[in-house]
A and B are shown apart, each in its own frame.
Chain A
Amino acid sequence: ICLVAAEVNACQHRLSLSLSLRQEIMKWNGWGYSDSRFLFNKKGQAEFTGKRYRLSGLILPSLKDWFEGTFGANLQHKSPATPTVNLSAVAPPDLNEPFVEDLKAAGVAMSHDPEDRVFRAHGHCLHEIFALREGRIGRVPDMVVWPSCHKDVEKIVELACKHNVCLIPYGGGTSVSSALECPREETRSIVSLDTSQMNRILWIDEKNLTAHVEAGIIGQDLERQLNERGYCTGHEPDSMEFSSLGGWVATRASGMKKNIYGNIEELVVHIKMVTPRGVIEKSCLGPRMSTGPDIHHFILGSEGTLGVVTEVTLKIRPIPEYQKYGSVVFPNFQQGVACLREVARQRCAPASIRLMDNEQFQFGHALKPQVSSIFTSFLDGLKKFYITKFKGFDPHHLCVATLLFEGDRGKVLQHEKQVYDIAAKFGIHYKKHLCVCVQDLGMDYYVIGESFETSVPWDRVLDLCRNVKERIVRECKERGVQFPPLSTCRVTQTYDAGACVYFYFAFNYRGLSDPVHVYEQVEHAAREEILANGGSLSHHHGVGKLRKEWMKESVSGVGLGMLKSVKEYVDPQNVFGNRNLL
């Protein structure tokens, strides 16, 4: 459904074969792969380059109008990024020599090359990317180490404790919570622990349908390798091309198809983590235990503050026989939410069901490739006519839900019917695929934007969406943004008691002296609005350093104290000193 990894819920970035190749394939100061991006060609038409995606190589004729109309951005006004990183701006590494010596003796791969260090100094927050584009480089790790197995990690952590260096675990680098930022107040040598070489599937147990995997493996590699054996995990966060298994565990990740397969906490059977106190793990692979509070829940969401996740046992499933996509068009967002709520009430949600608001629907339209034949164009016109004229839907209010069904053919068809029967009460079934990703393109043309998420009880979904969107518009206006921003949302997950909501927000920053600061203020205000409207601090992005200030409010003083006392016991020296969460 989503062609491009635009949703920033990503967790990590990645490369697989050689360490140096990674930086070249990845766009180091933007999203995704360096050969796949939007650009406006000489005729002013938008094009998506590269070969990796379905949109690749296609011309998107409506994107320009949408882009200019929505943001007031002009293609004449370009704000190009600094093409390569200015390595002389990187401070020389502050190495802890005895640590380096001991590590060398242990035979662990390491580097203090400036490019390697800069690459691991950031996640995918807007301000991080923007700073890189402007060539501004802050505190970066002093060295990078690449353990190749659990034993290596144990050795590294032991030495880090002995020599008192600061360790920051690094998986795919797709954090959007400033979790990878090096704390400015850290005076010790900072070592980035890159898990990318721990990427093997150690065993597959077909009797119990489990797989034991090293935590550094990247989502799509894991899925590909399992697929070769006829299995899948079904865990598909939007960042799965870049994010790592360890990152999922450390941030409590959520996958698009969680309705069938569950979120990460329901997928893990066993976790092994190396902490300064030693290794924490359970003694068996029992599917559930009553042995006091589940220790997995100290690890899930610990955001690299307690240790390094090295190996995980995951549930696996046979590859589904049949997949089917679909869409439902609603006259307005209220009807759409009502439909999703009803689907959740009847507990018949398909593998994935996502509802886009009208603004996103219009953007989706702008992304439609140039039509290949008169026939498809005719068909499109017919559909449009049917929806807007016959059904009386106002194109400025209508919105779309995209659905994905998965399983064996008979059940999928049956399931599909049940869902569309419900949907018929609220909207109309319509076959169509949509996707979203503009951040990078925007940055080249004085437009910046990002997304953030929350989870909220059903009865507050509409109020929260409306208030947050409006708050964004108002805050932008108050801060001197000249054009109204793009402020849009979608409901991406349904639960029994509520939903996960994503907000996308972008604006034209021409004329602003410090656009990133404006962005941060607006995002801050939007988060306050979310909390005031009964939304959570995060559904799956995590807290990192970006949302730390609200932790106490979110989990109560006692709750925060509990977490702190765990940290104090497990890591009294604060070796895992990324200062996330607490």
Chain B
Amino acid sequence: MFSVFIQPRHPVLKKRDDFEDVLEERRRSSDLRYALRCYTPTLYKGLVPCKASMLKSIVLQSDHLQYVIKQVSSESGDSAECVAEEASLILDEMAHRLQLSTIRFFAFTLSKAFKRLFRSVCVNEEGIQRLQQAVQEHPVVLLPSHRSYMDFLMMSYLLYMCDLPLPVIAAGMDFMSMKFVGEMLRMSGAFFIRRSFGGDKLYWAVFSEYVKTMLRNGYAPVEFFLEGTRSRTCKSLTPKMGLLNIVMEPFFKGELFDVNLVPVSISYERILEESLYARELLGVPKPKESTSGLLKARRVLSEDYGSMHVYFGHPVSLRSLAEGKINRSQYNLLPRYIPQKPRVDTHEFLNDAAFRLVRIQEENMVLKPWVLIATLLLQNPDGLELSFLTEQTDWLRHLALAFGAFLDWPNHEACSEVVSCSLALHRHLLSVSAGHVQLNVTDAPQDETTPEEAVFHRAVVVLSCASYRNQILHVFLRPALLAVAMQSANSNRKDDVYNCFNFLRNMFSNEFILCPGDSVQDFEEACYLLMKRGVLQVLEHEIVMSASGHSTLAFLCSVLDPFLQGYQVVCRCLCEETNENLTEKEFIPAVRSFALKLILAGRLKCCEALSSDLQKNALAALLRLKAVRKVKVGDQVTLKVNKIAVNSLEDTLGGKIPTLKPILARL
């Protein structure tokens, strides 16, 4: 079980494309002429051209929607006309109105904006060529990572630039509240969906039929974010299945020969929303999207955000992905317009596919040197000497490369040069004095600030910095899980270490992208990487640390340390919680104030325990492991804590008791 290495997963062997800066051309020629140039995109071969209004009537007339309208009408007692009218209104609220003139407007203004914001916008040329090919062959679904509002503007901008068809983009309804901007986005191809419409059959039918219709006739590439929302932490989020299911169904039902899924990785050297995100994670609610808010954001235009990278991954053929996993004949016995809930195997497939796609996004994410520096600074809260930091960064760079990181390290530049450049770009997060570099955490508090405010101030810096470290977590994750597992396992026996590894992996599978069912593969990958690095020797039944392996293992352990600590804090908080009827809503404030107390008392150093993202993920894990149950009381959802189970999880995480199967089984 542990001996077979699966070749394609050796991350180091991956060949990646070269980048080209698309702003270079923009800096040399007229933006206006560029915005007005002749735009003739390559189109899907089967395309039946149709206008947005035509699209609407196709959707409203579709068998599927007509069926649901009748069904809803007979259930609710409203007349069919009435329901149809409602469907039409939903569609009006949702539908995009793509107009070339708006696109040209954006092409002009965004050229201006991007040139001020970014030093360069780098795109892999070959990826664009592959996309050009893919667009002609089969309908395309674009799946970009989501770190910033910039993402979809940038996507459309790039596609316009490369003469590719402009995508229609699934956007959250919250944009609609920005009156003018909402309409502008609509005219540049965005369509709007409500954030939650759980049981609304009619809404779901209109929405899914709208997306499918566009896909089926190859109207335009459909773009949406697998992660569902912007990741505030810069870690990839657990993918959402809803839209993925919708775009896959036309293939499952034989309406399309294939669908090309194109993962796109967008990475920023400095994220525009950086400190905004940190505040949000600490419980300062995010400002509601409003036009005036966006105008205030003009301030951001005067800052330097370094470079940006967009990597278009290889198109993934849905057909090949589903080969042998989906039996399409399951749809033979029911008319295809009757909606069907996905079966268990379809659900598993969706889940698996979604995770794989997000992992591709992760792997193609370009990492800047600063990411390495941020990692080191977080591990050394008291700061480092600049020379030592440079040395460590260089060491870490080699480790990251050995683990397959997609590092954008400037050629022919001394390491010290690279480090000081990075420090300069992110100077607002750190202080450098007399060759000593430190995160801005000990900033002398202003006179009137309370100790609580001081902690939050520190936490903002730490979480901002963590959002950079998080970008490289996927590179170190598996070896780090193994490193921690070796530390906490009570023997060198391979199966003991594996049990520990599996426990941790299970515990953190809401926190990181870990494909369900890939436990053994992940373990082997971790062993392979560390063995290749000379850190471990993997024998038949034992895993032994090499003499020189100590520093690497220590580094890897401290990569996971904030998460281990954070999860323990959550567990302890739940165990010590006296309120029997703790509601779901009260959970985050409760953990936050608990963690704050610990920090103030000096019993906890790790500020990341304050992150609501970590807290939510920990709760999700506990719910999944059935150590906590949700109980509905009235219209409140309360959390029932199995304190024995939570307590033993906490101890296991802290390495106080070894991972034993019985414990897992008891959970």
Contact = CB atoms under 8 A, between A and B. Distances in A.
A533 B328 contact: yes
A463 B255 contact: yes
A467 B329 contact: no
B148 to A, nearest CB: 38
B328 A532 contact: yes
Interface in B325-350: 327-329, 331-332, 335-336
A26 B327 CA distance: 44
B257 interface: yes
Contact of B257 (A459, A460, A471, A534): A471
B336 A532 contact: no
B254 A464 contact: yes
A459 B336 contact: yes
B139 to A, nearest CB: 13
Contacts of A152: none
Interface residues of B, number: 10
User: What's the interface size class on A, roughly?
Assistant: 10 to 19
B66 to A, nearest CB: 14
Nearest to A471: B257
B204 to A, nearest CB: 22
Interface string A514-539: 00000000000000000111100000
Interface in A128-161: none
Among B255, B327, B329, B335, chain A packs the most CB atoms within 10 A around the CB of B329
A463 B329 CA distance: 14
A534 B335 contact: no
A470 B329 CA distance: 18
B105 to A, nearest CB: 36
B255 A534 contact: no
B335 A463 contact: no
A467 B336 contact: no
Contacts of A464: 254
A466 interface: yes
Query: Which secondary structure dominates chain A's binding surface?
Result: helix
A351 B130 CA distance: 50
A335 to B, nearest CB: 13
Given A459-B335, A459-B336, A531 B254 contact: no
Nearest to B253: A463
Given A459-B335, A459-B336, A532 B329 contact: yes
B337 to A, nearest CB: 9
Contacts of A459: 335-336
Contacts of B336: 459-460
Contacts of A532: 254, 327-329
B44 to A, nearest CB: 13
A325 B96 CA distance: 50
B660 to A, nearest CB: 44
A553 B328 CA distance: 13
Contacts of B255: 463
Contacts of B331: 534
Contacts of A553: 329
A471 B328 CA distance: 15
A365 B332 CA distance: 37
Interface string A454-479: 00000110011011001100000000
B213 to A, nearest CB: 15
Contacts of A533: 254, 328
Interface string B307-337: 0000000000000000000011101100110
A470 B254 contact: no
B335 A467 contact: no
A466 B257 contact: yes
Contacts of B254: 460, 463-464, 467, 532-534
A463 B254 CA distance: 6
Interface in B242-294: 254-255, 257
A532 B325 CA distance: 13
Give the interface centre of B255, B257, B335 by most chain A CB atoms within 10 Å. Answer: B257
Nearest to B331: A534
Nearest to B254: A533
Nearest to B337: A459
Given A466-B257, A533-B328, A534-B331, 14 more contacts: A459-B335, A459-B336, A460-B336, A463-B254, A464-B254, A467-B254, A467-B257, A471-B257, A532-B254, A532-B327, A532-B329, A533-B254, A534-B254, A534-B332
Interface of A: 459-460, 463-464, 466-467, 470-471, 531-534, 553
